[in-house]
Amino acid sequence: MRRFWAWVLLLSTPVLALSGDEVLKRVEARPTPKTLHGKMAMELINKQGKRLTRELEIWTKREGDVEKMLIKFLAPPDVRGTAFLVIQKGDREEMKLYLPALKKVRRVAGGQRRGSFMGSDFSYDDISRLGNLRSADYQSKLLREEGTFYVVEATPKPGVASAYERLVIWVEKPHFDVVKIEFYRKGALYKVMTLDEIQTYAGKYRIPTRLVMENKKTRHKTVLLQRELELDQPIPDSVFTERFMKR
Amino acid sequence: METLSRFATRRPWPVILLFVALTLVLGSGLGRLTFDNSPESLVPPELPAYRLFDEVRETFGAADVAIAALEGEVWSPEGLASLRAATEAVAEVEGVLGVTSLANAQRMEEVDGDLVIEDLLPERIAPSEIPQIRAYVDGHPLYAHRLVSPDGRYAAVILELDTSQDMRRLNQALYQAFKAHWQGPVYLSGTPALSGYILETIQRDLPIQMTLAALILGLILYLNFRSTRGVLLPLLTVAVALLWSLGLGGWLGFKLGMISSILPVVVLAVGSSFTLHVLNRFYHELAAGKGRAEAILLAVRETGLGVLVSALAAGAGLAALYSSSIPQIKFFGLLAAFGVLVAFLAASFLTPAVLSLLKNPRRLPDPERPDRVSRAMQKLAPVVAGNRHRALGLAAVFLLVMLLLATRVQVETSFLAYFPKDAPPRVATELVDRVFGGSDTLTVVVEGNLKDPALLQAIYRFEQEAKALPEVGSAISIADVIREIHRALTGSYGFPSSEEGVAQELLLYQLSGDPEALTRFITEDASAALITVQVRSLPTGQMKSLTEDLKELAKRTIAPFADAVEFTGTTVLMLEVMRLILHDQYVSLALALVLVAFFNALLLRSIRVGAVSVLPLGLTIAGQFGLMGMLGIPLDTATALIAAIAIGVGDYSVHVIVRYLEELKNGEDPGGAVRTSLYVSGRAVFFTALAIGGGFMALLFSGFAPIQTFAKLMGFTVGATALFALTVLPAALLVWVRRYRKEAGNHA
């Protein structure tokens, strides 16, 4: 009998109204890959519509509380080979930089978390929020349901460092995919991120493959396209080393 | 014309109602009239330098930079925290495109082998950290002496601004944002402060000037007529003219700036003369025992031609300003011409209509009765007649001398000299000039392959040589940014040896800041870059030669490595404006003189008369420029208008001609005709000159030096035109116009 009720509860969850917090928890509960390797095209579009494209190759790996990320520039040709290595252990972060013209790896110090991700309109925080929207950091409220979307307002809890005052998040019902986030700062809409292509990998991972971030103040826009993605394929630790950066 | 005036006399109410209705319709546009003295209101949009300015603004975000200096203990935790709060606050002000101060500056340097890239100021600033931060800033070419004064007493906040904003609002908003967070004095220099101040002054001065002009006119009208009616009627007609022209300006979306703010006074002064002539004659006829209706008709008939000719001439002179390429002058010309023509219409129709409704005054002083003025005029006639050749000879000598002196006129404006010494923007500009080495910016646009180390080296060399000039405070560009990155990466100043190296260092800079941080210096594709040269606020002459020197320097240093090097910025635009004013001056002057001669010839039906009629004007204008050359009064945005306005106000001499021709037609010999003409019209000319000149004196109370100079020059102009109209003109008539065809007198 108890199992029966458990089944009823589980099956009926999607139809019962969820709280904002529950929606974010469901988003957070989606599986995330342990490793990811792929290519990324980054298109920077200024307010006059001029485009600048960069291509990167990315390797990421998660083991316990250690996250490693290596980014190598493939294009434009004059920056090909420029590499960044970020190793995050809990709150500690180590970043290294390799510029082929100097043929030297340099350790980079300084708070970069709130800074721009590779010179785009995305910040490091925005990027990491995609994979890991820590619901515990936010005070959330379900604003409304729009067709197949939950619209949730998330406000950072006191003491949580955030570049934004408030987020409004659109979550698509069947998969709990985040499809759009509005970022508010000083009472005004600051940035809008839309994830307009989301693909399923390995039958379980929902990965956005086209992301657009528009800064409403500067009218500058970044489009990220992810392709040739390999998930959960073993990546040796030797990738996240100075030697590999120089290669 | 006369038929219409007769209609106005017979059926005054429809005419009055029509004027009231039109006044309500057009006058309601008054509320739409706005003020604007932005560079845009002075710069023709099709100007090549403006197109470049606009392109730069589009590509790099902002082409206009203003510097605010905050006074206080900068190098203290409280000072830096306040600076950060103030910087964040002004960044949110609408119209602010970018803000740079110590508060949002980046630190990029090598510390113990690590490349440190972080905000210059930590989240919480401990007193013990300050010496280290200060040492870094003092050694940083982009920050030292630019963002903070060497003694740490002043912090600079560099603002990139959208110049199409309402500068008064922007100025106030900036000031409030600063004051909310910074306890010490705040000095705002640059366009918003200057333009904001100009607009505030205009709005404060305008009602004062109008009231003053009306009072002076009223006084002179009273001296002339000695009756309330004689004061109020001309003032009524100019009030109508003023409402129509300002209202029309409102409906057409025109904006009043420093130059166009003289519009009301011009319309008041010029427009009042028409009714003065009509009324003069009306009272004269009444005093001669005519009935009211007949007196009105006679007044309109007798003065109609003179008033029409002078109205058309005034209108033409002012409308000629429409040929100017400066938008503000253009609109001023159009509205002033319209206002003058409305004043004429009001004098011709509204005045008769109102007169026909009013009871005859109890006392009937004849304004044309022989008084001291007319007796003096009478005495003048034989003197002129007897010395006519000598008078013309003297006029020729005067013309030559003045033209010679006119060649010494300088086209030069010190924008700062417009403002009183204690005006906040002037104080701020002088302070920023002194403390930060310059409040004005010249923008150099370099096109080419900015990843080429040779081009960067060339730009750096240009900056070093530019900074050696005493007028230049600083010069910064992407070259300085790369040198800093290079030093942080390699430990020594310099440039990478290859294009790839430059590209990678640029990438590093981009990766460490927001995506727009670099676009203030260079386009994302590295095909164009800006060099911002901070210079002291200089008079245009010196600014011009400095710009020439810098252009020469750029040609020598940068040009061999670049595709193109061009100069722009508000300062460069203002130099262009000065050049255009000078150029336009000749065009509008020639056009105005030709138009006046044409109208006079057409209406008086004689080319010879038309030519003689512009003689007083020609002499006056030569006199103006000669005077300016002699006294060192520069030709600037305001004084450039005087010639055209002189034509507008100065054509009352036509009344002398009209009367002279009338007398010839009536069979009088030339000598007698001059005597009668001076006796009858001379007094009117004298009082008109007094009224117009007096009206312009209201501008002496303007808050701007150029407008005050303009007022003084107008005083000279009005006096000189009157003098020439009463002396040289009759002499010329006696010599060149001794006969007048009888049928020609059946005018208008």
- Cβ <8 Å between B524 and A222: no
Q: Is residue B725 a part of any domain in this protein? A: yes
| CB < 8 Å to A119, chain B | 507, 510-511, 513, 515
Of B345, B367, B389, at which residue does a domain stop? Answer: B367
With a CB cutoff of 8 Å and minimum separation 6, the contacts of B735 are B388, B389, B392
A interface with B, Cβ–Cβ < 8 A, is 44, 46, 48, 50, 52, 73, 76, 78-79, 82, 84, 97, 99-102, 106-112, 115-116, 118-121, 186, 218, 220, 222
Minimal CA–CA distance to B260: which of B193, B194, B315, B205?
A: B205
Angstrom distance (rounded) from CA B558 to CA B457: 9
B334 and B416 co-located in one domain: no
pLDDT (tens digit per residue) in B441-484: 889 999 999 999 999 999 999 999 999 999 998 898 999 989 98
pLDDT (tens digit per residue) in B638-658: 777 777 777 767 666 778 888
B704 and B587 co-located in one domain: yes
Minimal CA–CA distance to B67: which of B347, B396, B428?
A: B428
Q: State how far residue A146 is from chain B, nearest Cα, in angstroms.
A: 32
Q: Is residue B216 a part of any domain in this protein? A: no
Whether B76 contacts chain A with CB within 8 A = no
Query: What average pLDDT does range B87-110 have in this prediction?
Result: 87
Which of A44, A48, A101 is opposite residue B504, by nearest beta carbon? A101
- Cβ <8 Å between B114 and A106: yes
B290 and B301 co-located in one domain: yes
| CB < 8 Å to A100, chain B | 500, 504
CA angle B111, B115, B121 (to 5 degrees): 75
Whether B491 contacts chain A with CB within 8 A = no
Query: What average pLDDT does range B162-185 have in this prediction?
Result: 87
B105 and B169 co-located in one domain: yes
B266 and B176 co-located in one domain: no
Q: Residues A17-246: name the CATH superfamily.
A: Lipoprotein localisation LolA/LolB/LppX (2.50.20.10)
pLDDT (tens digit per residue) in A94-123: 888 899 998 888 888 765 555 677 778 888
Number of domains chain B is built from: 4
B556 and B590 co-located in one domain: no
- Cβ <8 Å between B503 and A76: yes
Q: What is the pLDDT of residue B748?
A: 34
Angstrom distance (rounded) from CA B439 to CA A203: 63
Q: Is residue B191 a part of any domain in this protein? A: yes
Best interface-test mutation with B: which of A56, A97, A112 has the largest number of B CBs within 10 A? Answer: A97
Best interface-test mutation with B: which of A43, A74, A102, A224 has the largest number of B CBs within 10 A? Answer: A102
Structural domain range at position B97: 50-195
With a CB cutoff of 8 Å and minimum separation 6, the contacts of B586 are none
Q: State how far residue B162 is from chain A, nearest Cα, in angstroms.
A: 13
Whether B519 contacts chain A with CB within 8 A = yes
| CB < 8 Å to A220, chain B | 515-516
Report chain A's mean pLDDT, rounded to a whole number: 85
Tokens 């059946």 belong to residue: B746
Of B333, B367, B401, at which residue does a domain stop? Answer: B367
Whether B119 contacts chain A with CB within 8 A = yes
B336 and B230 co-located in one domain: yes
Q: Is residue B441 a part of any domain in this protein? A: no
pLDDT (tens digit per residue) in B182-196: 999 999 988 778 888
Residue A12 has pLDDT above 70, yes or no: no
Angstrom distance (rounded) from CA B127 to CA B650: 71
Q: Is-cis flag, bond preceding A76, omega within 30?
A: yes
Angstrom distance (rounded) from CA A229 to CA A237: 19
Residue of A nearest to B504 (CA): A79
Which of A100, A118, A220 is opposite residue B511, by nearest beta carbon? A118
B28 and B63 co-located in one domain: no
B256 and B363 co-located in one domain: yes
SS (H, E, C) B8-57: HHHCHHHHHHHHHHHHHHHHHHHHHCEECCCHHHHCCCCCHHHHHHHHHH
Q: What is the pLDDT of residue A3?
A: 61
Q: What is the pLDDT of residue A9?
A: 54
Of A4-18, A129-143, A159-173, the range with the lowest mean pLDDT is A4-18
Residue B66 has pLDDT above 80, yes or no: yes
Q: Is residue B208 a part of any domain in this protein? A: no
| CB < 8 Å to B116, chain A | 108-110
B298 and B349 co-located in one domain: yes
Q: Is residue B377 a part of any domain in this protein? A: yes
Angstrom distance (rounded) from CA A208 to CA A129: 13
**How confident is residue A8, by pLDDT bands cut at 50, 70 and 90?**
low
Q: What is the pLDDT of residue B747?
A: 40
List Cα–Cα distances, B127 to B71, B77, B87, B130, B149, in angstroms.
19, 6, 20, 5, 19
Residue B743 has pLDDT above 50, yes or no: no
Minimal CA–CA distance to B435: which of B402, B465, B474?
A: B474
pLDDT (tens digit per residue) in B395-449: 999 999 999 998 888 776 667 777 888 889 899 999 998 998 888 888 999 999 9
Residue B245 has pLDDT above 90, yes or no: yes
Q: State how far residue A104 is from chain B, nearest Cα, in angstroms.
A: 9
Q: What is the pLDDT of residue A11?
A: 53
Query: What average pLDDT does range B300-321 have in this prediction?
Result: 83
Angstrom distance (rounded) from CA B1 to CA B622: 35
B244 and B101 co-located in one domain: no
- Say what the pTM is: 0.78
Minimal CA–CA distance to B63: which of B548, B530, B528?
A: B530
B626 and B690 co-located in one domain: yes
**How confident is residue B746, by pLDDT bands cut at 50, 70 and 90?**
very low
Q: State how far residue A229 is from chain B, nearest Cα, in angstroms.
A: 24
Q: Is residue B433 a part of any domain in this protein? A: no
